[in-house]
Structure 1
Amino acid sequence: MYREDDYLMLSGIQHFYFCKRQWSLIHVEQQWKENRWTAEGQIVHKKADNPYLKEKRKNHFISRAMPVASSKLGLSGILDIVEFTKQEAAGVEVNGKQGLWQPAIVEFKRGKEKKDNRDIVQLVAQVICLEETLKVNISHSFLYYNQTNKKVRVEITQNLREEVEYTARIMHEVYKEGRTLQAETYKNCKECSLYDICIPRLTKKKISISNYMSNHLDEDML
């Protein structure tokens, strides 16, 4: 269990899963730079993050910008949207409403579905935080992709929970050590807002000064 003073940003788990150096630059070094993609992401989240916008219909209502935290993961943050559906046998009590209500998260994403689990890992981390905040069990939640206008249901399996717990633990270890992790190179690196700060081609491999000098001295002697 982590203390509140040690909580890391919930949204950072997606960065860490996708590119640990990107996460290090943002969360350890406090580096940040905007580009087209980060700006579009903010626009997509603008409506979802507005706590004064509420939608409701019979046996269903939406809560926006809900703060959550987990001492188990040591993460805290704000959820885009939580959908509450009225249930007879399971769920939580909600102030001003009768009966029990079962929550499910809807996390908004700017682009389209990813080939890896970066979005899913973030969603599962959010679910664990919401479960701990509301004292409830959640079996599934959703990812909404703005580019494709598609809402994807994600089952919150035990394997995914364990993957999130492991990832969060490594995040805390790296943060505590204050390390900036080594770069990896991906085909989409140049689309990252931190590309000019990261300089992946130069920072991917550590250069040994002794080997560098030795190689160049050998060349000069030829």
Structure 2
Amino acid sequence: MSTEQIIIPLSALEHYAYCPRQAGLILLEDGFVDDASTVRGTLLHQRVHEPDEEARPGLRTLRALPVWHDDLGLTGVCDVVELRDDGTVIPIEHKSGAYRPGGPADVQVVAQAICLEERFNTTIDTGYIYAAGDRRRHPVAVDDAARGRVHELAEAVREVLGRMALPVAVADRRCRGCSMNALCMPRLLADQKRYRQMLSERFRPNPESDWDD
């Protein structure tokens, strides 16, 4: 790994997969905003984010396990990792809501699997998302397509951090469920003509000003 490589948090891959601008606001402006959904997620993660280890016959369960990948420049923490006696390593990401197959959360699980492969010198073909919405584990395939998506998103996030520029607002259905809607102002910024007009009106010189006197 190059000493100049920008390190990417695993969580940023999920944020970028959901909305590049959301990821930019969090990474560049520390702009995370809580709502009811994110608070539920925080409460759900309180237990799994406490480092812990549990052993049962044939199985070790690790919680809040730090992971990384040198070549991809990734780092983060796995909610839960199961280590089975047959050598199988399984990442399990906990989410507070319902599971959406192929959604942004899948990216984070696959990225965790890639990091765990490096840490444990193994191969992982399946991870899981535990969805509190239905209290079930949902399998996520760690296949070539999913791995390729992680690589692409890592480079996209790295570009955002390298350029230090926020991605443009999209103003689509994703915005309705985003806790950062007010901070992002997607409908205003997506309409660039209206945005420029409002800026012009806001900062138009006052003809009655005495600045030139």
The equivalent residue for 1:175 is: 161
The verdict on how the C-alpha distance between 1:2 and 1:172 changes in structure 2, with shifts beyond 3 A counting, is farther
CA distance in structure 2 between the partners assigned to 1:4 and 1:141 by the alignment: 31
Contact map agreement 1:70 1:129 (CA 8 A) in 2: yes
Change (3 A) 1:2 1:42: farther
How far apart in 1 are the matches of 2:137 and 2:48? 14
- 1:71 aligned partner: 70
Identity of aligned pairs, percent? Answer: 29
Distance 1:136 1:205 in 2: 49
Match of 2:203 in 1: none
Of 58-67 and 190-199, the range deviating more from structure 2 = 190-199
* Alpha carbons 1:2, 1:73 under 8 Å: kept: no
- Partners of 2:174 and 2:7 in 1: how far apart? 30
Aligned to 1:94: none
Q: Flag the 1:42–1:4 CA change in 2: closer, same or farther, 3 A.
A: farther
Gaps of 5+ in 1: 88-100, 214-222
> How many angstroms apart in 2 are the aligned matches of 1:135 and 1:151?
25
Equivalent residue number for residue 139 of structure 1: 125
- Shift in CA distance, 172/2, structure 1 to aligned 2, threshold 3 Å: farther
Secondary structure (helix, strand or coil) at the match of 2:60 reads: strand
Aligned position for 2:12: 12
Q: CA deviation at 1:2?
A: 4.7
**Correspondence for 2:26:** 26
1:46-195 equivalence runs, <5 A: 46-52=46-52, 54-87=53-86, 101-114=87-100, 116-195=102-181
Structure 1 residue 131, shift from structure 2 partner: 1.2
Partner SS state of residue 138, structure 1: coil
- 1:45 aligned partner: 45
CA distance in 1 between counterparts of 2:109 and 2:179 reads 23
2:50 alignment partner AA = N
**Aligned counterpart in structure 2 of residue 198 of structure 1, from 184, 199, 204:** 184
Q: Cα distance 1:78–1:3, how it changes in 2: closer, same or farther (>3 A)?
A: farther
Deviations 1:72-117 (A, max 9, x none): 2222111000001111xxxxxxxxxxxxx32110100111112543
After alignment, is 3-12 or 14-23 more displaced?
3-12
CA distance in 1, matches of 2:99, 2:118: 27
- Partners of 1:128 and 1:50 lie apart in 2 by 22
Provide, for residues 137-171 of structure 1, a one-character-per-residue CA deviation record: whole Å limited to 9, x for no partner: 11111111001111011221011101110111111
Q: TM-score, normalised by structure 2?
A: 0.86
- Cα 1:77–1:3, aligned 2, differ >3 Å: closer, same or farther? farther
Q: Which runs of 5+ in 2 are unaligned?
A: 201-213
Distance of 2:3 and 2:152 partners within structure 1: 18
Provide the alpha-carbon RMSD of the alignment: 2.1
Instruction: Tell me if the contact between 1:4 and 1:71 (Cα under 8 Å) persists in the aligned partners.
Output: no
TM-score scaled by structure 1?
0.82
**AA at the equivalent of 2:144:** Q
1:11 aligned counterpart, secondary structure: helix
Residues 2 and 156 (structure 1 numbering): CA distance in 2 closer, same or farther, change over 3 Å? Answer: farther
Q: Distance in 1 between matches of 2:5 and 2:172?
A: 34
- Give the total of aligned pairs: 198
